[in-house]
Amino acid sequence: MHAEVALKGRSFINALDFTPEEYEALFSLAEEIRTHPQDFTGACAGRVLATLFYEPSTRTRLSFEAAMLRLGGQVLSVADPQTSSVAKGESLADTIRTVAAYADLIVIRHPKEGAARLAAMYSPVPVINAGDGAREHPTQTLTDLYTIRTLKGRLSELAVAFCGDLRFGRTVHSLLRALSRYPGMRFFLISPEELRIPEFLREELSAQGITMEEREQMEEVLPFVDVLYMTRVQKERFLDEEEYLRLRDFYILTPDRLELLKKDAIVMHPLPRVTEIAYGVDADPRAVYFQQVRFGMYARMALILGILGVV
């Protein structure tokens, strides 16, 4: 008997689409898969997952595809929209209705905010948002919560610092929203003025009574945090290349700065990394970002099983 996940037929567009209890059920299932992968081989035999990526990806697309293949299902993929009929001017609505005729579940990444929500409106099969512009990346949040839950043992009473591009970083937006539902959390936001969190998100969180301590210097915050969530400055969202280059190296986590962190803190990053974490940090046991990558595959296996109603 596996952990029960009651998500059959649901789309996953925003991090808040699932309750904390639904996330908890997914973590339990992901843990079962991680520890007993042989029990799930063939669970999705005869099912088809489609991945439609209108923006580049390594982890999200390949982890979903690896997840489906490890569950015994099949995968259809558009990794470059220029090789599909999008290049001939086909609308997202028509593309989705077409792909839904072939697949049981659609995973979509798109540069436009709201694109995944639109896709879900037209799709007769569930849709998973793999990132829509600078807005949301809920399956990264699923991965991040599962990583914190597993490595810190809880999702409450934690000090979490987000560092870097908090303006365009969709993983930050989704994770902040999700973590704000747990008790006893303390949030530090470390960014330059230009990359502070968007006003709509600040207002949304303030309206819930969430307080966030904003700083520009990472050194001021490092001694106090349990989780340090580093982010890349999102080059693809900048209109001005010079502005990007000026801000790109604003924060670099080096082995020297790592000395300021608590011994049991963890350093996370959704990846890809550019310059914001020095390679010299990777060997430190607190640097868990490649573990996070692996957790992401198990979390997505659980999500696929839950949405397809296989468990």
DSSP output for 148-203:
HHHHHS-SSS-EEEEES-TTT-HHHHHHHHHHTTSTT-EEEEE--GGGPPPHHHHH
Task: Return the residue of 37, 42, 272, 309 that touches ligand CP, per CB under 6 A.
Answer: 272
Distance of closest approach, residue 136 Cβ to ligand CP, in angstroms: 12
Q: Is 111 in the site for ligand CP (CB under 6 A)?
A: no
Our finding on whether 164 is near ligand CP (CB under 6 A) is no
Euclidean distance between the first and final Cα of the chain, in Å?
9
Strand 74-78 vs strand 48-53: parallel, antiparallel, or unpaired?
parallel
Residue 10 CA to its chain's centroid (Å): 18
The span from the CA of 10 to the CA of 17, in Å, is 9
**Closer residue to ligand CP in complex, CB, 14/57:** 57
Q: CA nearest 188: which of 170, 166, 156, 207? A: 166
Window contacting ligand CP (CB under 6 A); options: 67-75, 155-163, 269-277, 279-287: 269-277
Shortest separation between residue 144's beta carbon and ligand CP, angstroms? 9
Question: Is 141 among the residues that bind ligand CP (CB under 6 A)?
Answer: no
Please tell me whether residue 110 binds ligand CP under the rule CB under 6 A.
no
- With respect to ligand CP, which residue has the nearer C-beta, 57 or 123? 57
Least separation in angstroms between CB 224 and ligand CP = 26
Provide the total of helices (H) and of strands (E) in the chain, helices listed first: 10, 9
CB of 191 to ligand CP, least distance (A): 19
d(CA 43, CA 305) in angstroms, rounded, equals 8
Least gap, CB of 289 to ligand CP (angstroms): 10
d(CA 29, CA 23): 10
Q: Report the nearest approach of ligand CP to the CB of residue 290 (Å).
A: 12
Q: Which is nearer to ligand CP, 11 or 60 (CB)?
A: 60
CA atoms lying within 13 Å on the CB side of residue 159: 13
Nearest CA among 4, 5, 117, 137 for reference residue 61: 137
Residue 270 makes contact with ligand CP by CB under 6 A: yes
Nearest distance in Å: CB 203, ligand CP: 26
Site for ligand CP in 23-82 (CB under 6 A): 57-60
- The residue (of 272 and 309) whose beta carbon lies closer to ligand CP is 272
Question: Any contact of residue 306 with ligand CP (CB under 6 A)?
Answer: no
Segment near ligand CP (CB under 6 A), from 2-10, 26-34, 149-157, 270-278? 270-278
Q: How many residues bind ligand CP (CB under 6 A)?
A: 9
From CA 26, how far away is CA 32, in angstroms rounded?
10
Under the rule (CB under 6 A), what is the footprint of ligand CP?
57-60, 131, 140, 270-272
